[in-house]
């Protein structure tokens, strides 16, 4: 293993996606506990994901909602 | 194809009348369940499509098809994934794929660059929440629309739709490994676009 920050960076996406193994998770958390820079960057990535979701959330129009309901097949 | 909207005839045998009544009840329930998911489906559909108009059309085509082929849905399985599978197939059928230009230009070498650039370009405030607020909401919408379709499909399903890698793989009919690599690349492309728009505004 070379640079611990570079390794931590590689684990960031799988960490935030909750797909790391327990061992990898412990490795990442051990490094995050002592590295302020990586911790900031992880937090930023987490905030970014939430921020992106909010920014692109565009509700469906009332017209579309009505059109979808009208597509139901009549009972007889 | 079986006829839907079957009329329960007065002279039907009691068993047959019973069967038709059960079927009608199941179908109405299916339609209600599908409509109840429409907000969640739309949240994803809006960004799988290229525009709001396209998204609205896709939603209508998807629901029309879903209501016609409701029998092919297996009760107890993931209906939202089932609806999105119809939707992504329709989206591909529209020939959208022809416009695709595979984007293979080199990406930034690391995953931290957006934060690093935003933190540098600010007034020295590196608080993560305030740094993220340097991105405008319009820029995010634009940046997402620039991500090429193959990558955006995966990004939108996982990051906006909260689908697992496995569900995403099923919806798009691609291997899980491809989901992971496209997701990785899609997120990088999005961040590169965001970094560019943030830098333009700073200058």
Closest CB to A56: pick one of B28, B131, B144: B144
DSSP chain A: ---HHHHHHHHHHHHHTT-S-HHHHHHHHHHHHH-HHHHHHHHHHHHHHHHHHHHH--PPPHHHHHHHHHTSPP--
Q: How far is CA B12 from CA A76, B24, B158, B191, in A?
A: 15, 15, 49, 63
Q: Dump pLDDT digits (tens) for B117-169.
A: 888 776 666 677 778 888 888 899 999 998 998 999 999 999 999 999 999 99
Q: Contacts of residue B31 in chain A, CB cutoff 8 Å?
A: 72-73
For residue B103, pLDDT over 70 is answered with no
For residues A69 and B31, give the distance between their C-alpha atoms in angstroms, rounded to a whole number.
9
Residues of chain A short of pLDDT 70, as ranges, are 1-2, 76
Residue B137 CB partners (closer than 8 Å, separation 6+):
A54, A55
In the predicted structure, residue B107 carries a pLDDT above the cut 80: no
Domain covering B113-202: architecture: Orthogonal Bundle (1.10)
CA–CA distance from B99 to each of A37, B50, B95, B102, B152 (Å)?
41, 11, 8, 10, 14
**pTM, entire model:** 0.85
pLDDT at residue number B130: 78
Closest CB from A56, A60, A69 relative to B160: A56
Q: pLDDT digits over A40-53, tens only?
A: 999 999 999 999 99
Domain residues of chain B, as ranges?
Answer: 14-99, 113-202
Q: Which residue has the tokens 């499909």?
A: B153
Q: What is the CATH architecture of B14-99?
A: Orthogonal Bundle (1.10)
């Amino acid at each position: 293993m070379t640079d611990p920050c570079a390794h931590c960076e590689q684990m960031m996406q799988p960490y935030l996606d909750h797909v790391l193994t327990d061992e990898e998770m412990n490795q990442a958390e051990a490094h995050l506990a002592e590295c302020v820079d990586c911790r900031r960057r992880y937090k930023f990535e987490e905030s970014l994901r939430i921020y992106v979701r909010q920014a692109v959330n565009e509700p469906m129009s009332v017209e579309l909602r009505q059109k979808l309901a009208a597509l139901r097949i009549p009972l007889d | 194809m079986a006829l839907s909207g079957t009329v329960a005839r007065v002279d039907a045998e009691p068993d047959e009348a019973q069967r038709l009544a059960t079927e009608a009840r199941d179908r109405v329930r299916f339609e209600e369940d599908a409509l109840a998911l429409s907000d969640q489906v739309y949240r994803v559909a809006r960004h799988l499509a290229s525009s709001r108009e396209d998204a609205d059309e896709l939603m209508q085509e998807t629901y029309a098809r879903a209501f016609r082929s409701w029998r092919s849905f297996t009760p107890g399985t993931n209906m939202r994934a089932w609806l999105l599978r119809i939707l992504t197939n329709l989206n591909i059928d529209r020939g959208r794929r022809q416009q695709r230009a595979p984007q293979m230009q080199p990406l930034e070498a690391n995953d931290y660059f957006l934060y690093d650039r935003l933190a540098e370009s600010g007034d020295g405030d590196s608080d993560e929440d305030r740094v993220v607020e340097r991105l405008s909401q319009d820029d995010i919408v634009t940046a997402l629309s620039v991500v090429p379709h193959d990558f955006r499909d995966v990004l939108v399903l996982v990051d906006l739709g909260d689908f697992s890698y496995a569900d995403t793989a099923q919806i798009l009919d691609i291997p899980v490994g491809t989901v992971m690599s496209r997701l990785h690349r899609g997120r990088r492309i999005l961040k590169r676009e965001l970094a560019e728009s943030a830098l333009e505004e700073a200058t």
